[in-house]
Structure 1
Amino acid sequence: MKAIRIHEFGGPEVMKMETVARPVPAAGEILVKVYAASVNPADYVIREGGNDFLRPYLQLPMGLGIDLAGVVEAVGAGVENFKPGDRVYGLPNFLDGAYTEYLAARATQFARMPGTATFNEAAAMASCASIAWNGVMELGNVQAGQRILIHGAAGGVGNMALQFAKSRGAYVIGTASAHNFDFLRSLGADEVVDYKDENFETLLHDVTVVFNASPVRDAAMRMKSVQVMQEGGIFVCTQVDFPFSEAFINALAAKQATATFIGGTNLDFGYRLAEVATLVDEGKVKAVISKVYPWEEVAAAHRESETRHVRGKIVLEIRKEEEI
């Protein structure tokens, strides 16, 4: 089978398509015939050698890609909730890489695809939906009527967080560039703030949950976020490589607020994707795809991702939908 792998860290040119052995699912794993994978900021961070959080785990040669959709080809011993032919979406084992024709991974990292979604749409949601679900539904515990502020609301994680919060009946405010305002409103945003030209800290108040899904590491933005939070609020952050400062922690404490990171190597969260699939089929959540590339054009896809101005997700199409 074919897979895209790297043998050195660097720019998009280090990614090579090569022939590798097709994996065999171990006990508790499924073998997936991959139809689509998406491109995430984590992919080019890993390709370049990682950040402080990821670097200790990286070993060359390695694959890239952290989410995918496809069809179950075979199941390992002990797997009872999937069978060959099931259309699934999920994540590979930690750092195994999803840019591949076949993938063996723990069954607990997958769920059945939404019945209304294509492979490309499902692949565009898997990792971002899981992160956003963890941040909004679990760590943030967003409830109807609460005010939630989402930084980076037009991105892959941010737009999922926005949709999940709206499905709970929250009042959602998103920060983004001005050209994304109509897009965020179409997803249900109640307010939008231009992160470039408007000072959200003077415009907003009584925010229960701040969800920071922005790719920009900005200590000042964190401090400003505390200003708009209500007493006992929650700050949830995806930037595991950018520690909270002492000043930020003290500012939170003064408001009896808390902060937490999303992250870790435990990827057994197929249960989240099953919940997401239900919301998709109910019409409450949808995939947002910026562009679909043939996977042979992975370098171009990475270059576009690195602009940090992608609306939703970039998808690599590995097989056509009709090739079942």
Structure 2
Amino acid sequence: MHAIRLHTFGPAEHLTYEETPDPAPAPGQVRIAVTAAGVHLLDTAIRAGVKGPLPELPELPTIPGREVAGTVDALGEGVDGSWLGKRVVAHIGFAPGGYAELVVTEASRLHEIPGSLDDAEAVALIGTGRTTMGILQFTELTPDSVAVVPAAAGGIGTLLVQYAKHAGATVIGLAGGPEKTARVAANGADLAVDYKNPEWPDEVRAYLAKLGGSGVPGATVVFDGVGGEAGLAAVDLLAPGGAHVVFGWSGEGLRDGAPLTFTDEQLAARGITQLNVLGPEMMRRASSDNPIRTLELAALAEAEKGHFTPAVQRYPLAEAAAAHADLENRRTTGKVVLIP
């Protein structure tokens, strides 16, 4: 098979397209003929040699990637024979191996792909969709909600906008540049704003002032996966009683950034709450023996109901280095997926 391998931690060009031996499934495992492999911002940090939330970096050489879709083409001992030939999607865990034509993983990780989804969309839901459902556990969206979504053209941002609109909320989506802003508007945001325009906060405040009827002097929730100056400017739009939901800091980068945080005194002065939803708390909120699978199933169910339509940007598997570079430099829209 062909796969992307990393022999030395470093820049995107260290990812190389190579021929490697075909893997064979062990007992309890299946082999998937991959049709789509997800690329995550965390993958770029690991490639650079930064652990991020991982307990340790993978041994080199390694095949990156943890989210795949495709068709089951081989079964390990003890696996239900009905899986053979099924179209499936799986998050293969912290064990890498996804950027490849063939992947082995535990049968317990599989989900059959609903007929309404293509394989690349399914990959977006199993990772990005799962995270989105985890974030949404921390706040209730209603027709009275006014949600601000920085990075609204990204994978999570796209789904947050769709979910909030389905709940009847007013949605203000921020994105960088006219092309991305147009995508946010097409995705259903009530107001799509280019945060590269230094006057964008004034544009949003003017819109909030015209809302009328709701009695809300500002936004009720900010879904902040960006941090930095853009995140702070978005928090400044919150009305008293609003919530700042923090799930990342892509505006600063995973390598040296940090989430936007406030002291208790600062939060009290603003009259807002802050919820950091990363890590164990998201899993606890899922209230399940297998919280990851619970959130994956929830994301797939939202797609089946028509509430989620993931944004996907596809690259050939051989161009994984370009995909990483574009993702790191904010040149992508939606979920980045590699196609073998």
**What is the aligned partner in structure 2 of residue 206 from structure 1?**
218
1:4-15 matches, within 5 Å, as 4-15=4-15
Which consecutive residues of structure 1, in runs of 5 or more, have no partner in the other structure? 319-324
1:131–1:262 Cα contact (<8 Å) kept: no
- 1:260 matched to 2:260? The reply is no
1:37–1:315 Cα contact (<8 Å) kept: yes
Per the alignment, do residues 162 and 110 of structure 1 end up closer, same or farther by CA in structure 2, a change over 3 Å counting? farther
TM-score using structure 2 length: 0.78
**What is the aligned partner in structure 2 of residue 236 from structure 1?**
245
**What is the aligned partner in structure 2 of residue 311 from structure 1?**
333
**What is the aligned partner in structure 1 of residue 266 from structure 2?**
251
After the TM superposition, which of the residue ranges 120-129 and 266-275 deviates more from structure 2?
A: 266-275
**Alpha-carbon RMSD:** 3.1
**What is the aligned partner in structure 2 of residue 129 from structure 1?**
129
> What is the number of equivalent residue pairs in this alignment?
312
> 1:271 is aligned with what amino acid?
T
2:31–2:72 Cα contact (<8 Å) kept: yes
CA distance in 2: counterparts of 1:12 and 1:249, whole angstroms: 40
After the TM superposition, which of the residue ranges 272-281 and 74-83 deviates more from structure 2?
A: 74-83
2:138–2:277 Cα contact (<8 Å) kept: no
> 1:251 is aligned with what amino acid?
Q
> 2:273 is aligned with what amino acid?
A
Per the alignment, do residues 248 and 269 of structure 1 end up closer, same or farther by CA in structure 2, a change over 3 Å counting? same
**What is the aligned partner in structure 2 of residue 154 from structure 1?**
153
1:1-324 matches, within 5 Å, as 1-16=1-16, 17-27=18-28, 29-50=29-50, 52-54=52-54, 56-74=56-74, 83-107=83-107, 109-136=109-136, 138-179=137-178, 180-197=180-197, 198-200=199-201, 203=205, 204=208, 205-214=217-226, 217-218=227-228, 220-239=229-248, 242-244=257-259, 247-254=262-269, 255-263=271-279, 269-290=292-313, 292-318=314-340
CA distance in 2: counterparts of 1:189 and 1:307, whole angstroms: 24
Per the alignment, do residues 79 and 207 of structure 1 end up closer, same or farther by CA in structure 2, a change over 3 Å counting? farther
CA distance in 1: counterparts of 2:241 and 2:77, whole angstroms: 47
1:50–1:58 Cα contact (<8 Å) kept: no
CA distance in 1: counterparts of 2:124 and 2:307, whole angstroms: 16
User: Any idea what SS the aligned residue of 1:133 has?
Assistant: helix
User: Any idea what SS the aligned residue of 1:298 has?
Assistant: helix
Per the alignment, do residues 231 and 315 of structure 1 end up closer, same or farther by CA in structure 2, a change over 3 Å counting? same
2:219–2:242 Cα contact (<8 Å) kept: yes
CA distance in 1: counterparts of 2:177 and 2:146, whole angstroms: 21
1:68–1:98 Cα contact (<8 Å) kept: yes
Overall identity of the aligned pairs, in % = 29
> 1:261 is aligned with what amino acid?
V
TM-aligned CA deviation for residue 154 of structure 1: 0.4
2:22–2:102 Cα contact (<8 Å) kept: no
User: Any idea what SS the aligned residue of 2:163 has?
Assistant: helix
Per the alignment, do residues 186 and 23 of structure 1 end up closer, same or farther by CA in structure 2, a change over 3 Å counting? same
Which consecutive residues of structure 2, in runs of 5 or more, have no partner in the other structure? 209-216, 284-289
User: Any idea what SS the aligned residue of 2:152 has?
Assistant: coil
Per the alignment, do residues 74 and 226 of structure 1 end up closer, same or farther by CA in structure 2, a change over 3 Å counting? same
CA distance in 2: counterparts of 1:295 and 1:281, whole angstroms: 28
Per the alignment, do residues 55 and 83 of structure 1 end up closer, same or farther by CA in structure 2, a change over 3 Å counting? closer
Per the alignment, do residues 111 and 248 of structure 1 end up closer, same or farther by CA in structure 2, a change over 3 Å counting? farther
TM-aligned CA deviation for residue 176 of structure 1: 0.9
> 2:196 is aligned with what amino acid?
K
CA distance in 1: counterparts of 2:182 and 2:224, whole angstroms: 20
TM-aligned CA deviation for residue 149 of structure 1: 1.1
User: Any idea what SS the aligned residue of 1:160 has?
Assistant: helix
- Give the number of the structure whose alpha-carbon radius of gyration is greater: 2
TM-aligned CA deviation for residue 41 of structure 1: 2.2
TM-score using structure 1 length: 0.82
2:152–2:161 Cα contact (<8 Å) kept: yes
TM-aligned CA deviation for residue 155 of structure 1: 1.1
TM-aligned CA deviation for residue 260 of structure 1: 0.8
CA distance in 2: counterparts of 1:86 and 1:245, whole angstroms: 43
> 1:317 is aligned with what amino acid?
I
User: Any idea what SS the aligned residue of 1:24 has?
Assistant: coil
